[in-house]
Amino acid sequence: MASVTQNFDAYVNLDKADFGGLWVAIFKGEVIASGEDAKMVYKEAMKITHNKIVMLSKVPKKDVIEIL
């Protein structure tokens, strides 16, 4: 499952200024789709990759303190 690590590395290095607050789909270390609706982002990613496994995750907003 090498691509999980590759996609995760891309995720932790994403610029919050560009993607903060959005769902992103990452494939082979590249963001291939993003938006506010997780299902739409996933659908677009499936279309682009022809149903390959992608990373789907939300990027925290910049300047927001996370108390969980």
Partner 1 sequence: MATTYFKYRKHPQPQEDDPYPHAPRIPILLIGNEARIQSTGLLDTGSTVTIIPPDIADILGLETGEKIPIKTINGTIEGQESEIKIEVPLQRNPVRVRVPCQVVDFDEIILGRTVFFNPFEITFYEQQGKVRLKDIRSKLNKMKRL
* Residues forming the site for partner 1 (CB under 8 A): 1, 3-5, 7-8, 11-13, 16, 26, 37-39, 42, 53-58, 60, 62-68
Q: Phi then psi for 24, rounded to 5 degrees? A: -125, 145
Pairing of strands 23-27, 55-58: antiparallel
**To the nearest whole angstrom, how small is the minimum distance from the Cβ of residue 58 to partner 1?**
5
Determine the straight-line distance between the first and last CA of the chain, rounded to whole angstroms: 29
**To the nearest whole angstrom, how small is the minimum distance from the Cβ of residue 27 to partner 1?**
9
**To the nearest whole angstrom, how small is the minimum distance from the Cβ of residue 11 to partner 1?**
6
The structure tokens 């990613």 sit at: 45
